[in-house]
Structure 1
Amino acid sequence: MTWRILTLSGLGCVALFLAAGGIWLYLLPPAPARGSAPAIARDESEATLAALKPPKRQRPLIAIVGINNMSETTDYLMPYGILARADIADVVTLATQPGPVTLFPALKVEPHATTAAFDAEHPDGADYVIVPAMSRDDDPVALQWIRTQAARGAIIVGVCVGAMVVANTGLLDGRQATTHWYSVRDLRKHSDIRYVADRRLVVDRGVATTTGITASMPMALTLIEAIADRNKAAAVARDVGLVEWDARHRSDAFQFTRPFALTAIGNTLAFWRRDEVGIELTSGIDEVSLALVADAWSRTYRSRALTFAATADARPSRNGLLIMPDKVAVDWPAREKPPPAVELPPAKALDATLQAIEARYGQHTADFVAMQLEYPR
């Protein structure tokens, strides 16, 4: 009798859970909003550029800071790769502690310096500090270092959920801001921060924030335009495969929808079908294309991207950043070796990768990845 009661109780709980889950799924939006974002008024664009002018040096010093344990891949590498290729500023990658930075969801790099070493070499601070999403948005060393840089006159740029790191420094109090669509609710928990919708980049009195992961591309191009001029930004934009880079954005095109939830659940439950996608790590590889390709494949919930090379030695990227291979191998099984998208300009590399993901796992998974990256398809 006891076992029968326990069995029936267990079945009842399962049925209740499934019913609640079904209702939750039914109440989710069936699809994101469609349509183009409206253009940004010229006076607003000019005000953004004026607010991002170099605060101290004629040739600015830009520091990209991350914690060693899981800073977001594209947030960390894309600003570096785009700004370094422009050659209009000195760009360095930093970590809060000695040793490599393990990025999330893929790649491992050797930063140029620690925050302490940077402070010793540059006691007057950076001109710009770029803050990616981090596995801990309350890391005390990172928070204090960002506050100190702001006090020394640096413009702080929170990329994606890096906005939550900046929020925890207190620097966004009383300011307007944005962040990745998934973290808007968390940002709004800070009652002193005024969330701004429909803008990919928001600048307010020395602090800038962006929407999701791929927003670091137009953000970096906007910085180039502010530091140099539009012609320089346009040249770099052509090099990375982007046509426009202003702040236009349609926030309701990115949200938690029924297909998004079903894809996440279905791909997670398909645990018996997991791929390790191998990307050959070569000297001179474009760190931006690599970041986008590895990031996208690692967000399918069906695969993860790994880099491989013939030796364990770190390989210098196009702009001199040392990237460490995940595995030592001379080749990778053909089934799990994606098309060579890393050889394409960054924007085209991401498009090609999403097409390859769609061919392998279906359109819903490709859309699922694009939604996470906040990339319009």
Structure 2
Amino acid sequence: MREPYPGDLRRPALRFCITLLLALMVTSLLIDAAHAATIEPSHGRERVVVAIAALNKGTEVTDFLVPYGILAEAGAEVLAVAPEAAPVTLWPAGRIAPHMDFAGFDAAHEAGADIVIIPAMVERGDEAVLNWLRDQAAKGALMVSICEGSSTLAETGLLDGRHATGHFYEHENRVRRYPHVEWQRNIRYVEDGNIISSSGVSASLPVSLLLAERIAGRGRAAEIAAHYGVENWSAEHNSDAFNIGMREMATATKNLLLGWPRADILIAVHEGVSEVDLAFPLDFASRSWKSETRLFADKTEVTTRHGLTLLADVTGDAPKRADVIRLPGDEGKGSLEIESAATLREEMLAWIGEKMGSGTAHFVAVQLEYPVPGGMR
């Protein structure tokens, strides 16, 4: 029998060392990746500072309210900022008072925000907004667009050479307007460097939960998600399932021309109302093309759960023919009294279907890129 050659004795030890080295390298990479995915307060702050940009003349309501509420629940300091320290008109309904204008934010946070949220705005090319976004990006903020906030972000030039996404209906227009951006379909959100972009309006939920996970950890994000009835917040999404075609256009035309008198829908807001609970009912109710939707309260100004000032359109007694929608936590009587944040979106769409027809409920959901039946699961 041949005696082992000394090199043979070294091979098992060598293989073990190589395996151990590779394992350590992989572990190191995983730790680095996890660390990179974590969002921590910068510049000695106690909390992550989130600035949600708003255009005074018009900012999409769900794009704004959902990240506001969810990131505040994740422990961030969330501030509403706008070009002017004047009321912000939310589109398609609602008004808020921003915490400060851009100049005020810059004075209070010279180093810039940790995260900047860019909702869809009625004008994607407002120069004051674009200049402020460029400045925040230069200071190192993570830039996050919701829905067609990606078009505003593209106007800054910050998306050139990057991958991004936005609302399905504007895809071809974005490709034409911003040819230097690699626009993606069929995905909830796209991360490229220090920029995250998300798809249709309903993507405000998963992308906000992604940020919540990075701020507060997976466990806390899961708690928030469960409260709002969201089972996962992955990037998986099929935007090709949504379409504004003949069916939707027929509904829109019929509602626009024949939907008279307009349904008068009042979304009741109370002190401490959840920003997330408010977002979808206000948005859904406003997109039927046969209704007028307004904020209703006991007083002119109402403070939300996390310190946002809502400006009521109607105070006192509700008009007799109005439908009043009551949100979770509101003990008043209404045409619809929603008790659970987890089923709120489905309840609201079901109510629209009962009042205005299933075609209108479908039309409303498609606009927000929201899957029905069953909601986001």
| TM bracket (short chain) | 0.7 to 0.9
Q: 1:292, 1:350 within 8 Å by CA — same for their partners in 2?
A: yes
Q: 2:85, 2:99 within 8 Å by CA — same for their partners in 1?
A: no
Structure 1 SS opposite 2:222: helix
Pairing of 1:18-33 with structure 2 (within 5 A):
none
User: Match for 1:232 among 192, 216, 220?
Assistant: 220
Distance 1:126 1:273 in 2: 46
Distance 2:249 2:38 in 1: 38
Aligned to 2:108: 121
* Pairwise CA distance, 1:336: 2.2
* Pairwise CA distance, 1:339: 5.9
The 1:254/1:233 distance shift into structure 2, 3 A limit, reads same
Residue 212 of structure 1 pairs with residue 200 of structure 2: yes
Aligned to 2:156: 169
Distance 1:376 1:84 in 2: 26
Aligned to 1:295: 283
Aligned to 1:374: 369
Residue 70 of structure 1 pairs with residue 70 of structure 2: no
User: Match for 2:232 among 233, 238, 244?
Assistant: 244
Q: Which runs of 5+ in 1 are unaligned?
A: 1-42
Using structure 2 for the length normalisation, give the TM-score: 0.83
Q: 1:161, 1:212 within 8 Å by CA — same for their partners in 2?
A: yes
The 1:53/1:306 distance shift into structure 2, 3 A limit, reads same
Q: 1:48, 1:203 within 8 Å by CA — same for their partners in 2?
A: no
The 1:128/1:375 distance shift into structure 2, 3 A limit, reads same
Pairing of 1:319-334 with structure 2 (within 5 A):
319-333=306-320
Q: Which runs of 5+ in 2 are unaligned?
A: 1-28, 328-335, 373-377
Q: 1:51, 1:205 within 8 Å by CA — same for their partners in 2?
A: no
The 1:182/1:375 distance shift into structure 2, 3 A limit, reads same
Q: Which has the bigger relative contact order, CA under 8 A and spacing at least 6?
A: 1
Q: 1:279, 1:308 within 8 Å by CA — same for their partners in 2?
A: yes
Tell me how large the CA RMSD over aligned residues is: 2.2
Q: Deviations over 1:35-78 (max 9, x none)?
A: xxxxxxxx9xx979945744836732111001111101111111
Aligned to 1:56: 42
User: Match for 1:94 among 66, 74, 81?
Assistant: 81
Q: 1:286, 1:318 within 8 Å by CA — same for their partners in 2?
A: yes
* Pairwise CA distance, 1:330: 2.3
Identity %: 38
Q: How many correspondences in the alignment? A: 332
Distance 2:354 2:322 in 1: 13
Please, which moves more after superposition, 361-370 or 264-273? 264-273
Aligned to 1:306: 294
Residue 181 of structure 1 pairs with residue 161 of structure 2: no
Q: Over alpha carbons, which structure has the higher Rg?
A: 2
Distance 1:276 1:163 in 2: 32
Distance 1:243 1:72 in 2: 25
The 1:64/1:373 distance shift into structure 2, 3 A limit, reads same
Letter in 2 for 1:358: G
Q: Deviations over 1:144-170 (max 9, x none)?
A: 000000000001111001000000000
User: Match for 1:353 among 345, 348, 352?
Assistant: 348
Q: Deviations over 1:220-256 (max 9, x none)?
A: 1000112221111101111222111111100211122
The 1:49/1:209 distance shift into structure 2, 3 A limit, reads farther
